[in-house]
Amino acid sequence: MANQFKLPDLGEGLHEAEITELLVKKGDVIKEGDPLMVVETDKASVEIPSPYNGVIQEIHVAAGDVVEVGTVLVTFNGEGQEAAKPLVEQPGVEEKSAPSAMPEKVDVTAVVPTEQKLPGTPATGAPVAAAPTTRQLAREMKIDIRLVPGSGPGGRITDDDVRRFAQTGLPAQALPEQPVPAATEPETVTAIKPPRVTGEQVGQSLPSLISEEDIALPDFSAWGEIQQIPLRSVRRAVAKKMTVSWSQIPHVSHHDNADITELEKLRTSLKGEVEGGLTLTVFIIKAVVAALKKHPNFNSSLDTEKGVIIQKHFYNIGIAVDTERGLIVPVIRDADRKTMTELSVELNDLVKRTREDKNTLEELQRGTFTITNAGVLGGTHFEPIINYPQVAILGASRASWQPVVRKDELDRMEIVPRYILPLVVTFDHRVLDGGDGARFLSTILQILETPEKMLLNI
């Protein structure tokens, strides 16, 4: 009997993926855990492992196809082959001649009980959080990567996890979890439940103004040579998400300039203290977390169905990264619990792996607030779009030396050179007002302009 393998659930909010590479062909003999194909979502590239033993009878997709969760990808079992079935054997357990037979000796250090899986062990058929290079290492060492517990962020399996498992068969020593500070009872926020308006209703409300003919594109090929580039993968996902954000959220932006002259002196003096150096983004993360704690509605989401504002008392900061694939937003979890050094090391590693397309899905989820620093690209001001379902985003432009008029110690006017950083906060006007935006950005400015206060939290 043939078994059909369907695209599994890839994580929160992900309903489709693009097939970017097929790693098998019809007739291949496959074991459970062997990679079948690479799929790409708006989050990351992931290898999809086989949940079965068997022979590939048919491949129903091709590279470039965009498929939804539940779509049949592969049918297992060719003619004359034994029916494909999920593996049940575990390493270290002797083969049983009958279900009731008991092995004479079991190596308990190598057995992974089916009832009590080790932390990080995924369910059968679920994608494993590991980079393609880590998977390749596991294959070379003849290790079933599905049995390797991950010690990385979100249970991600690292190269060291694979090597350690090869030597001992045991997971890495679990680190004690840091205690979560007791959250104070948040102030009750009463939200007015807005009427739910569907896209169809919006379209029907302007029948005399907008029609399909009004938005139809002309035939550009009649004017000259053109090239059609498929809207796929990250670009397609960004287009969808930005459309949702812009259509659902009334955006408002507030701009201001931070005088980071003293901060830049401090940052430069500490460059040699941290591997890779301290970037300005690390200081911005620290300032943002402090501002979110003081203005909790900026770290929230709006539930229009229930008519409530959901404040989050955890601080997962997304960092927008410009890559060849498009804009990717990896997330630094629990940024409030990490020192400047820890943030710097994690940020450098996260950005590097993002640009190398080595992120896991787990690293790109659960963000509560986003920072986008476009300073390296130049420009003086811009207005970022909110990363839905968040309610705000902070943008930083390029810092530069500018002449500033101020009073000296004798209350006389003087013109001095100062290092100025343009900042902008864009927020959801359903949840936050103009005064909120001004106060939030003012808090960030105060922290960046007085770096000695920031040192108290390092």
- Tokens for 333, please give them: 């979890």
Helix axes 261-269 and 280-294, enclosed angle (nearest 10): 120
Active site residue 60: no
Residues 302, 196: contact at Cβ < 8 Å? no
Task: Find, among 49, 20, 401, the residue nearest to 232 by Cα.
Answer: 20
Residue 170 DSSP label: S
- How does strand 308-311 pair with strand 300-303? antiparallel
- In one-letter notation, the amino acid at residue 455 is L
Residue 208 DSSP label: T
Beta bridge partners of 328: 321
Query: How many angstroms separate the CA atoms of 183 and 177, rounded?
Result: 17
Query: How many angstroms separate the CA atoms of 438 and 26, rounded?
Result: 61
Q: Is 271 helix (H, G, I), strand (E, B) or coil?
A: helix
Query: How many angstroms separate the CA atoms of 295 and 79, rounded?
Result: 65
Q: Of the residues 60, 313, 381, 429, which is catalytic?
A: 429
Name the residues annotated as catalytic: 429
